A and B are shown apart, each in its own frame.
Chain A
Amino acid sequence: MQLFRYSTSIYGGGDTVIGASWDLLPWFVAAGAAFIVVHAVARAISSRAGKPH
């Protein structure tokens, strides 16, 4: 997986960065989903632990 999108100049030389790689898009979505799941589980556990027996 690459961090950037590249283009190759028709005049030769190395590749040029033309932007962020869109392959990373699912990772950003996954990061949001992971935060939500972890927070929801943590809050559920803490609220259950806080309830009087």
Chain B
Amino acid sequence: MPVMSASQANMSVASAQAASARAESGRIRRHHLADRLYHWAMAACVLTLMATAFLPIIGYKFEWLGLHWTTGVALTALVAVHVVRAVIWQDFWAMVIDAVDIRNGWRLVARAVGGKGPAPGMPGKYNGLQKLYHTGIAVLVLAIIATGLLMLLKIDTPLWRRDPYRLSNDDWGVVYALHGFAAMGLITLVMIHIYFAIRPDEWRLTRSMFRGWITRAEYDEHHDKRRWKAEEAR
């Protein structure tokens, strides 16, 4: 029969109390610090890029190009880190639309138009519309980055000399058109993102992007525990 010393017993009690205190604190980790830093750095880059792109177009003239391309390169680096982190360290599939999301979406629409079908199930960490939004913004940002990197061939920088003859005029037209359409589409999606961030009923998600956690009650109310096996926030 194992024998526990007084100090071991004290440590066991202390660790149990600590675990109990964490459980009572009722905080579920939603975003690690690295992911929150990524989110806000990306937000700063996107807003800077939108300001330097569109303010001159609507009449506020300033030297925008230097800040625009350097911020674009910074955004490219951030997105590269995010992609690697999402594939290797994060639950990549948590952000991919699956059959359950489609079924839940169908049930939601059916009930919204007056049907009496079964209620949609709870989402995992992200609901279907959040995943759809992420897919849309990923497509736009990746298109902007790909075309933006090509457009760097048109300018002299301390790191390289311009070489605009790599592409024909027609090809450049396609590159610039894609960049422009994706950038304008980004305005629409950023507006929608900010709208949801400031809605009171979504405030728990906004808070989690500042502080990293949601409460246990919010987790129980809004998420399917089988689809998101959450961990206690420390």
Residue ranges of A at the interface with B (Cβ–Cβ < 8 Å): 4, 9, 16-20, 22, 24-25, 28-29, 31-33, 35-36, 39-40, 43, 46
CA gap between A49 and B101 in the complex, in Å: 25
Which residues from chain A contact B172 at a C-beta distance below 8 Å?
A: 18
B188 contacts A20, CB within 8 Å?
Answer: no
CA gap between A36 and B54 in the complex, in Å: 21
Which residues from chain A contact B195 at a C-beta distance below 8 Å?
A: 35-36, 39-40
Closest A residue by C-beta to B175: A19
CA gap between A25 and B170 in the complex, in Å: 23
Residue ranges of B at the interface with A (Cβ–Cβ < 8 Å): 54, 57-58, 112, 169-170, 172-174, 176-177, 179-181, 184-185, 187-192, 195, 201
B170 contacts A17, CB within 8 Å?
Answer: yes
Which residues from chain A contact B191 at a C-beta distance below 8 Å?
A: 29, 32-33, 35-36
Complex A-B: 24 CB contacts under 8 Å: A16-B170, A17-B173, A17-B174, A17-B176, A17-B177, A18-B172, A19-B177, A19-B179, A20-B176, A20-B181, A20-B184, A22-B57, A22-B180, A24-B181, A25-B54, A28-B184, A28-B188, A31-B188, A32-B190, A35-B188, A35-B192, A35-B195, A36-B191, A39-B195
Q: In angstroms, how far is the closest chain A Cβ from the Cβ of B88?
A: 34
CA gap between A28 and B189 in the complex, in Å: 9
Closest B residue by C-beta to A31: B188
Q: In angstroms, how far is the closest chain B Cβ from the Cβ of A35?
A: 6
